[in-house]
A and B are shown apart, each in its own frame.
Chain A
Amino acid sequence: MNPIESNQLPLDEMLISSYEMSRETIVRGDISKVELMRDTALQHFKTNRFPDSTHEKWKNTEIENLTCEDFVQLIEPAQADRNMDELFRCEVHNFDTEIVSMLNGWYHDSNEKLRTLPDGVVVGSFKAAMNAYPALFEQYYGEIAQNTLNGFTAINTALVQDGVFIYVPDGVNARKTLQIIKMIDLEENLFVQNRNLIILGRNSSLSLMHCDDSINQHSSLVNTVTEIFVSEGARFELYKLQNLNDQSGLVNTTFIRQMADSTVKTNTLTFNCGLIRNTIHINLDGSGAHADVLGLYLMDKSQHVDNQIRINHNQPNCTSNELFKGILDDQASAVFNGYIHVARDAQKTNAYQNNNNILLKPTATINTKPFLEIYADDVKCSHGATIGQLDQDAMFYLRSRGISKANARLLLMYAFASDIISEISIEPLRNRIDDMVKKRLRGELSVCEKCVLHCGSPEKEYHFDIDYSKL
Chain B
Amino acid sequence: MLLNIKNLHVAINGKEIIKGLNLGVNKGEVHAIMGPNGTGKSTLAAAITGREGYDITQGEIWYKGKNIVEMPAEERANEGIFLSFQYPVEIPGVSMTNFMRTAINAQREYRGQAPIQAGDFLRMMEEKKKLVDIHEKLTNRSVNEGFSGGEKKKNEIFQMAMLEPTLAILDETDSGLDIDALKVVARGVNQLRTSENAFVVITHYQRLLELIVPDFVHVLFDGKIIKSGGRNLALELEEKGYEWIKQEHLV
The chain A residues found within 8 Å of chain B, CB to CB, are 391-394, 396-405, 407-408, 411-412, 414-416, 418-419, 466-469, 471
Given contacts A393-B89, A396-B73, A400-B49, 19 further A-B contacts (CB under 8 A): A391-B89, A394-B89, A396-B51, A396-B52, A399-B73, A400-B73, A400-B82, A402-B106, A402-B107, A403-B74, A405-B74, A407-B102, A407-B106, A411-B94, A412-B91, A415-B92, A415-B93, A467-B105, A471-B121
A230 to chain B, nearest CB (A): 31
- B residues near A402, Cβ cutoff 8 Å: 74, 77-78, 103, 106-107, 110, 163
Q: Are B51 and A404 in contact (CB under 8 A)?
A: no
Q: How far is the CA of A162 from the CA of B30 in the complex (A)?
A: 76
Q: Are B72 and A400 in contact (CB under 8 A)?
A: no
The reply to whether the CB of B118 lies closer than 8 angstroms to some CB of chain A is yes
A204 to chain B, nearest CB (A): 35
The reply to whether the CB of B147 lies closer than 8 angstroms to some CB of chain A is no
Q: How far is the CA of A468 from the CA of B52 in the complex (A)?
A: 27
Binding site secondary structure of chain B: helix
- B residues near A399, Cβ cutoff 8 Å: 50, 72-74, 77
- B residues 95-125 touching A (CB-CB < 8 Å): 97-99, 101-103, 105-107, 110, 115, 118, 121-122
Interface centre among B94, B107, B110, B143, by most chain A C-beta atoms within 10 angstroms, is B94
Instruction: Give the A-B contact count at a CB cut-off of 8 A.
Output: 90
The reply to whether the CB of B83 lies closer than 8 angstroms to some CB of chain A is yes
Q: How far is the CA of A396 from the CA of B91 in the complex (A)?
A: 11
The reply to whether the CB of B62 lies closer than 8 angstroms to some CB of chain A is no
- A residues near B52, Cβ cutoff 8 Å: 392, 396
Per-position 1/0 for B56-83, Cβ under 8 A of A: 0000000000000000111001100011
Which listed residue, A391, A400, A403, touches B102 by the CB 8 Å rule? A403
- B residues 11-43 touching A (CB-CB < 8 Å): none
Taking CB as reference atom, which chain A residue is nearest B90?
A: A394
Interface centre among A398, A416, A467, by most chain B C-beta atoms within 10 angstroms, is A398
The reply to whether the CB of B166 lies closer than 8 angstroms to some CB of chain A is no
28 pairs from A and B in contact (CB 8 Å cutoff): A391-B89, A396-B51, A396-B52, A396-B89, A397-B88, A398-B99, A399-B74, A400-B49, A400-B50, A400-B51, A400-B77, A401-B103, A401-B106, A402-B110, A403-B103, A404-B106, A408-B74, A411-B99, A412-B94, A415-B91, A415-B92, A415-B93, A415-B142, A419-B93, A469-B118, A471-B97, A471-B101, A471-B118
Q: How far is the CA of A398 from the CA of B143 in the complex (A)?
A: 10
Q: How far is the CA of A467 from the CA of B121 in the complex (A)?
A: 13
- A residues near B83, Cβ cutoff 8 Å: 400
- B residues near A405, Cβ cutoff 8 Å: 72, 74
Q: Are B77 and A401 in contact (CB under 8 A)?
A: yes
Q: How far is the CA of A393 from the CA of B83 in the complex (A)?
A: 13
Q: How far is the CA of A414 from the CA of B102 in the complex (A)?
A: 14
- B residues near A411, Cβ cutoff 8 Å: 91, 94, 98-99, 102
- B residues near A404, Cβ cutoff 8 Å: 74, 106
- A residues near B216, Cβ cutoff 8 Å: none
The reply to whether the CB of B85 lies closer than 8 angstroms to some CB of chain A is yes
Q: How far is the CA of A398 from the CA of B90 in the complex (A)?
A: 11
B185 to chain A, nearest CB (A): 18
Q: How far is the CA of A414 from the CA of B95 in the complex (A)?
A: 12
Q: How far is the CA of A403 from the CA of B89 in the complex (A)?
A: 15
- B residues near A412, Cβ cutoff 8 Å: 91, 94
Q: How far is the CA of A471 from the CA of B139 in the complex (A)?
A: 11
Q: Are B72 and A467 in contact (CB under 8 A)?
A: no
The chain B residues found within 8 Å of chain A, CB to CB, are 49-52, 72-74, 77-78, 82-83, 85, 88-94, 97-99, 101-103, 105-107, 110, 115, 118, 121-122, 142-143, 159, 163
Taking CB as reference atom, which chain A residue is nearest B104?
A: A402
Q: How far is the CA of A228 from the CA of B235 in the complex (A)?
A: 75
Q: How far is the CA of A393 from the CA of B136 in the complex (A)?
A: 26
Question: When A and B form their complex, which 9 residue pairs have the shortest distance between CB atoms, in order from nearest?
Answer: A415-B93, A402-B77, A401-B103, A397-B89, A399-B73, A402-B106, A402-B78, A399-B74, A415-B94
Q: How far is the CA of A417 from the CA of B55 in the complex (A)?
A: 33
Q: Are B110 and A468 in contact (CB under 8 A)?
A: no
- A residues near B102, Cβ cutoff 8 Å: 403, 407, 411, 466-467
B99 to chain A, nearest CB (A): 7
Q: How far is the CA of A397 from the CA of B94 in the complex (A)?
A: 12
Q: Are B91 and A397 in contact (CB under 8 A)?
A: yes
Q: How far is the CA of A254 from the CA of B185 in the complex (A)?
A: 57
- Known contacts A399-B73, A399-B77; decide if A394 and B110 are in contact (CB<8 Å): no
Q: How far is the CA of A470 from the CA of B159 in the complex (A)?
A: 20
- B residues near A408, Cβ cutoff 8 Å: 74
Taking CB as reference atom, which chain B residue is nearest A393?
A: B89
- Known contacts A396-B73, A402-B77, A405-B74; decide if A467 and B101 are in contact (CB<8 Å): yes
Q: How far is the CA of A416 from the CA of B142 in the complex (A)?
A: 12
Q: How far is the CA of A416 from the CA of B72 in the complex (A)?
A: 25
Q: How far is the CA of A391 from the CA of B91 in the complex (A)?
A: 9
- B residues near A398, Cβ cutoff 8 Å: 91, 94, 99, 103
Q: How far is the CA of A419 from the CA of B92 in the complex (A)?
A: 10
B44 to chain A, nearest CB (A): 15
Q: Are A418 and B93 in contact (CB under 8 A)?
A: yes
A406 to chain B, nearest CB (A): 10
- Known contacts A399-B73, A399-B74, A403-B106; decide if A471 and B122 are in contact (CB<8 Å): yes
Q: How far is the CA of A404 from the CA of B77 in the complex (A)?
A: 10
Q: How far is the CA of A407 from the CA of B50 in the complex (A)?
A: 17
Taking CB as reference atom, which chain B residue is nearest A468?
A: B98
- B residues near A397, Cβ cutoff 8 Å: 85, 88-89, 91, 143
Q: How far is the CA of A276 from the CA of B163 in the complex (A)?
A: 46
Q: How far is the CA of A400 from the CA of B88 in the complex (A)?
A: 11
A248 to chain B, nearest CB (A): 31
Q: Are B99 and A416 in contact (CB under 8 A)?
A: no
Taking CB as reference atom, which chain B residue is nearest A397?
A: B89
Q: How far is the CA of A303 from the CA of B192 in the complex (A)?
A: 52
Taking CB as reference atom, which chain B residue is nearest A467?
A: B101
- B residues near A396, Cβ cutoff 8 Å: 51-52, 73, 89
A217 to chain B, nearest CB (A): 35
B14 to chain A, nearest CB (A): 18
B112 to chain A, nearest CB (A): 14
A12 to chain B, nearest CB (A): 45
- B residues near A468, Cβ cutoff 8 Å: 98
Q: How far is the CA of A400 from the CA of B107 in the complex (A)?
A: 11
Taking CB as reference atom, which chain B residue is nearest A416?
A: B93
Q: How far is the CA of A415 from the CA of B121 in the complex (A)?
A: 22
